Chain A
Amino acid sequence: MDGFLTLAAANLGSPLILSFALGLLAALGRSDLVFPEAAAKALSIYLLFAIGLKGGVSVADHGIDLRLGAAIMLGIVLSAVLPLIAFKLLGVMTKLDRTNAAAVAAHYGSISIVTFVAGTSVLESAGIASDGFMVAVAAAMEAPAILSALWLISRGGGEQRMDADLWREILLNGSIVLLIGAFVIGMIVGADGLAEVSSFFVSPFKGALCLFLLDMGLVAGRGLRRSRDVLTPGLLAFGCLMPLIGALVAGGGGALIGLPTGSLFLIMVLGASASYIAVPAAMRVAVPEADPGIYLTLSLGITFPLNLTLGLPIYLALARGIGGG
């Protein structure tokens, strides 16, 4: 327990979380602080490229082993299965109709790459190594959840629009292209190549992440302020409970394939996190009847802050408990 409290205190007092808290409080207090849209997009490109590059370099250094394939398979299975669990849970805890429940469930099978990036920072601070290929696992977990949600909707007789164009948009969305592209570049250039650009992609990384989390705090706070009417007690409870369930299921799967502590923690973070970029865009196209006010508020306003503040230390304590270290 002491270990967890120390971790939680260190996490809550970190520049990353304090930056997020500043944004959240500023938005809740109706400050006129605004992060320009273009700056937010530029920062997200920087962070995705940097994290992909570092992951690829790590794989180039340590080589590819069987765990990579097993971890990617686990990621795909988790992304497909977690929406089914979320859907059942929503049926018990809320009065959402089938379409909205399936749309929300899709978000909880897919991932938040910012939570993943924050998780890697927590690992760095704790001095725990992780497998570089976890970046590829994150990319693999973006899309299967969307399929599961569409299956849930069509099984109930609901209408959904899924075509080749949407498939291309999902599979080649900017985050996936950047993550995988930078990962491959990292694998090709290795440590020597990274050394050439480390003054840009390594040293300023945490500072850039602070600014990005400040923006995410602003966006989350604004979303929360505007969507108070949407959040029923049941939805609120779901947004708090589902991440823990996702983390435990992912942790169980990770332990089964023998992931070491750092990677186990990251797969738990991925299982716990909820998408707010790729899946919402896909849902707007495929299931326009679903209310974005519900799924965006839940994933960005409830689950994202919860994971960032309390979730990360909880998952790290659990990963340490399961994997040692």
Chain B
Amino acid sequence: MQTHKAKQVAITIEAPMERRLRAALEEAGVTGYSILPVIGGSGRSGAWSAAGQVGLAGGMVQVVCIIRPERLDGLLDAAFAVVERHIGVVTVTDCDVLRAELF
């Protein structure tokens, strides 16, 4: 089956920054992404869990988007401006998609 090269960018960031990240991505022309809840983890500030939490402050989310390779730099610039000073991880992975027109 015909597949097309793409980049998957996963940005794990503090929940209070999610809205800002989404706004930055949309401003950079990235309109397709998914937001996944992160149920817990461990990092520089110690372990944490979303269980039973009422506020956003202790939580993280992951924003995942798949884009054409030539748009990667624009996305990373936009994401970096938001996450630069914050706790979080940005990863870029090569991937293949089935339908070139639908991402």
**Cβ A278 vs Cβ B55 within 8 A:** yes
Judged by a CB distance under 8 angstroms, whether A157 is at the interface is: no
Among A165, A277, A284, A288, contact of B54 (Cβ-Cβ < 8 Å)? A277
Is A280 positioned at the interface, with any CB of B under 8 Å from its CB? Answer: yes
Select which of B47, B56, B58, B87 is within 8 A of A288 by beta carbon.
B87
Q: How many residues of A contact B (CB 8 A)?
A: 35
The interface residues of chain A lying within 8 Å CB-to-CB of B87 are 288
Q: Say whether B86 contacts A288, CB under 8 Å.
A: yes
Question: How would residues 221 to 243 of chain A score, 1 for a CB under 8 Å from any chain B CB and 0 otherwise?
Answer: 01000110110000000000000
Chain B binding surface SS class: loop
Contact B54 A44 (CB under 8 A): yes
Residues on A with beta carbons closer than 8 Å to the beta carbon of B57: 276-277, 280-281, 283-284, 292, 296
A21-38 to B contact mask, C-beta < 8 Å, 1/0: 000000000000011110
Contacts of B45 in A (CB 8 A): 291-293
What's the minimum C-beta distance from A162 to chain B, rounded to whole angstroms? 13
Q: Which of B57, B58, B87 has the most CB of A within 10 A?
A: B57
- Would you call A81 an interface residue if the criterion is a C-beta within 8 Å of the partner chain's C-beta atoms? no
Q: Which residues of A contact B48 (CB under 8 A)?
A: 226
Q: How far is the CB of A63 from chain B (nearest CB, A)?
A: 34
Give every chain B residue within 8 A of A227 (Cβ-Cβ). 46
Chain A nearest CB, measured from B42 CB (Å)? 9
State A285–B56 Cα separation when bound (angstroms): 11
* Chain A minimum-CB-distance residue to B49: A222
Residues of A contacting B: mostly? helix
Bound complex: CA A34 to CA B39 (Å): 12
**21-70 of chain B: CB within 8 A of chain A:** 45-58
- The reply to whether B52 and A285 form a contact with Cβ atoms under 8 Å apart is no
Whether the Cβ atoms of B16 and A284 lie closer than 8 Å is yes
Q: Is the CB of B58 within 8 A of A296?
A: yes
Residues of A contacting B20 with CB < 8 Å?
A: 165, 285
Q: Mark A271-300, 1 if CB is under 8 A from B, else 0.
A: 000001110111111001101110010000
Which residue from chain B places its CB closest to the CB of A40 in the assembled complex?
A: B52
Give A108-125 as 1s and 0s: 1 = Cβ < 8 Å from B's Cβ atoms. 000000000000000000
Task: Taking A169-B16, A285-B16, A293-B45 as given, write out 20 further A-B residue pairs in contact, using a Cβ cutoff of 8 Å, ordered by the A residue number.
Answer: A37-B52, A40-B52, A41-B54, A44-B54, A161-B85, A165-B20, A218-B52, A219-B52, A222-B49, A222-B51, A226-B46, A229-B46, A276-B55, A280-B55, A281-B16, A281-B57, A284-B56, A285-B17, A293-B46, A296-B57
Interface CB pairs A-B, < 8 A, 21: A35-B51, A35-B52, A37-B50, A37-B52, A37-B53, A40-B54, A159-B85, A165-B19, A219-B51, A222-B49, A226-B46, A276-B57, A280-B58, A281-B55, A283-B57, A284-B16, A284-B17, A284-B56, A288-B14, A288-B85, A292-B45
A contact set with B: CB distance below 8 Å:
34-37, 40-41, 44, 159, 161, 165, 169, 215-216, 218-219, 222, 226-227, 229-230, 276-278, 280-285, 288-289, 291-293, 296
